[in-house]
Amino acid sequence: MSRQLGVGLYGAGNIVHDGHAPAVAAGASTRLAAVCDIDEARARTLADAYGGANIYTSLDKMLADPSVDIVIMATPNNLHRRDFEACARAGKHVLCEKPLAVTYPDAIAMARIAEEHKIVLKTGFNQRYLNQIRMAKLAIEAGLIGEVFSFRTVFSAKWDNWVDGSNFRWDLERSGGATTNDNLIHRFDMLRYLLDDDYAEVVADVSHCVIPPVVDDNVHLMVRTNKGARGSFIADRYSPVLGDATELYGTKGSLSFWTNAGSPFFDVPLAINTTVPMNELPEPIRKAVYPTARSKQNRHAWDGWLSIWPPRNEWDTYAEQLAGMAEEILSGTRDGIGATGFDGARATELVHAAYSSQIARAWVSLPLADNAPFAFPDFEGHGSDAKAGRS
Ligand SMILES: NC(=O)c1ccc[n+]([C@@H]2O[C@H](COP(=O)([O-])OP(=O)(O)OC[C@H]3O[C@@H](n4cnc5c(N)ncnc54)[C@H](O)[C@@H]3O)[C@@H](O)[C@H]2O)c1
């Protein structure tokens, strides 16, 4: 039997409970070695649920445990940068939950420290592993929609939909933001991943409008990419809707998908409009096409639209992400999907630049300097202005 890697869970909160702990248990090449949380009872309950593991309330003690090869870091965001460095010095590989850090200088430093210490650092952008996203990537790479010059994406989630154990999201110092840095950052990563491109410029309106904690709850961004695409990102944290939609427009077709929820406007996990005939589609896409009104046999009969229903794998994405990382550690082979430390840094860079744009009320160019100054927008002032203007 090939070697199993010991995993230490750092932070025994919601996402570890729902995503990472089951992923460790499901993995053929991973086993649960330790759980560390400042709340010992929480760590113990989790370990007991998986047949036991070493329990720690201090990271240093867990890092001294030789049975731990990988640390899955799922603590409040402001702790990631500080604690990552200790992990790297101890020679542990790290799967760090998104966002990698609150500021771009911290995030890029983490990516570099990982290289220096020759450890594998992955950023927890698990949505890359969704089956509809894998197929969207395949469709774009196969040229089904041509060159993309325009996209738009939306992410709505009510602020009290997500119960977090430590309530860190509503404290800017600990979360770095409740909408931009929590939900929208998944899309910042996903669009650059799908388009194999980087952001060149951003202008943002990052505001607080409604919810009791004074954090970003209504966010609008426009970006331009290095390859010349233009796109918009919209997210809110006040609406009762859990909704999302992404549309990409190419020179030969278009593609739209949802990741978490199914609004009636976007009730197909992945829809592709292409003139490429059915028999020339990449096989995984052809197999997952749902013929609706017309026959699959007719080469051009679907008016260009393909409705694609891949098997759902929302919660399996955590296991697939971890399996990819374990394979990289054991054999040096990358799965080509998992987000690296540098990918994590690029996503954080757009959050950082969006805040800078809000403060300057102007377009901001990327890449940012490694020591770019960071500040939170004045959500108090901006929110009050927005409300006063509406009366
Ligand atoms: N990939 C995703 O879609 C996704 C989803 C949810 C959360 N996350 C990320 O996971 C991380 C945790 O989020 P959550 O919702 O599980 O939070 P949570 O509040 O439920 O859990 C955080 C845990 O960290 C522990 N903790 C706090 N300070 C600590 C310290 N100094 N030392 C040790 N433990 C400490 C808390 O006791 C708690 O158990 C965040 O970075 C978040 O952005 C990612």
Please count the other Cβ atoms lying within 10 Å of the Cβ belonging to residue 291: 14
Contact 219, 206 (CB under 8 A): yes
Q: Which residues line ligand 1 (CB under 6 A)?
A: 11-15, 37-39, 42, 74-77, 79, 97-98, 124, 126, 164-166, 168, 182
The whole-angstrom separation of Cα 382 and Cα 306 is: 43
Most ligand 1 atoms within 8 A of CB, residue of 16, 127, 161, 164 to mutate: 164
Contact 335, 122 (CB under 8 A): no
Most ligand 1 atoms within 8 A of CB, residue of 78, 123, 166 to mutate: 166
Question: How are beta strands 30-36 and 54-56 bridged, if at all?
Answer: parallel
What would the two tokens of residue 355 be? 């805040």
Report CA Rg, the chain.
21
Q: What is the pLDDT along the chain (391 residues), one digit of tens a residue?
A: 468 999 999 999 999 999 999 999 999 999 999 999 999 999 999 999 999 999 999 999 999 999 999 999 999 999 999 999 999 999 999 999 999 999 999 999 999 999 999 999 999 999 999 999 999 999 999 999 999 999 999 999 888 876 667 789 999 999 999 999 999 999 999 999 999 999 999 999 999 999 999 999 999 999 999 999 999 999 999 998 888 899 999 999 999 999 987 788 877 899 999 988 888 889 999 888 876 544 445 544 456 888 898 888 999 999 999 999 999 999 999 999 999 999 999 999 999 999 999 999 999 999 999 999 999 999 887 544 444 333 3
> Measured in angstroms, how far is the CA atom of residue 279 from the centroid of ligand 1?
46
Ligand 1, closest atom to CA 181?
A: 43
Vertex 175: Cα angle to 174 and 180 (nearest 5)? 155
> Measured in angstroms, how far is the CA atom of residue 387 from the centroid of ligand 1?
32
The amino acid at 374: F
The whole-angstrom separation of Cα 55 and Cα 60 is: 12
Q: What pLDDT does residue 164 have?
A: 67
- List the domains of the chain with CATH numbers: 5-124+316-337 (3.40.50.720)
Angstrom distances, CA of residue 196 to CA of 124, 191, 282: 18, 8, 19
> Measured in angstroms, how far is the CA atom of residue 290 from the centroid of ligand 1?
38
> Measured in angstroms, how far is the CA atom of residue 175 from the centroid of ligand 1?
10
> Measured in angstroms, how far is the CA atom of residue 11 from the centroid of ligand 1?
6
DSSP letter for each residue of 89-139: HTT-EEEEPSSS-SSHHHHHHHHHHHHHTT--EEE--GGGGSHHHHHHHHH
Contact 242, 261 (CB under 8 A): yes
DSSP letter for each residue of 24-54: HHH-TTEEEEEEE-SSHHHHHHHHHHTT--E
> Measured in angstroms, how far is the CA atom of residue 13 from the centroid of ligand 1?
5
Most ligand 1 atoms within 8 A of CB, residue of 17, 18, 20, 37 to mutate: 37
Chain position carrying tokens 């592993």: 129
> Measured in angstroms, how far is the CA atom of residue 164 from the centroid of ligand 1?
7
> Measured in angstroms, how far is the CA atom of residue 207 from the centroid of ligand 1?
24
Contact 273, 247 (CB under 8 A): no
The whole-angstrom separation of Cα 113 and Cα 84 is: 9
The whole-angstrom separation of Cα 97 and Cα 80 is: 8
Ligand 1, closest atom to CA 79?
A: 31
> First CA to last CA across the chain, in angstroms?
68
Which residue puts its alpha carbon closest to atom 34 of ligand 1? 37
The whole-angstrom separation of Cα 353 and Cα 373 is: 10
> Measured in angstroms, how far is the CA atom of residue 152 from the centroid of ligand 1?
29
Q: What is the pLDDT of residues 102-118, one digit of tens each?
A: 999 999 999 999 999 99
Edge-to-edge strands, sheet with 5-10: 54-56, 30-36, 5-10, 70-73, 93-96, 121-123, 339-340
Contact 101, 126 (CB under 8 A): no
Ligand 1, closest atom to CA 39?
A: 37
Q: Where are the beta strands (DSSP E) in the chain?
A: 5-10, 30-36, 54-56, 70-73, 93-96, 121-123, 148-156, 199-207, 218-225, 230-236, 243-250, 253-257, 270-274, 289-290, 305-308, 339-340, 364-365
Edge-to-edge strands, sheet with 218-225: 289-290, 305-308, 270-274, 253-257, 243-250, 148-156, 230-236, 218-225, 199-207, 364-365
Q: Which residues are CB-neighbours of 294 under 8 A, at least 6 positions away?
A: 301, 302
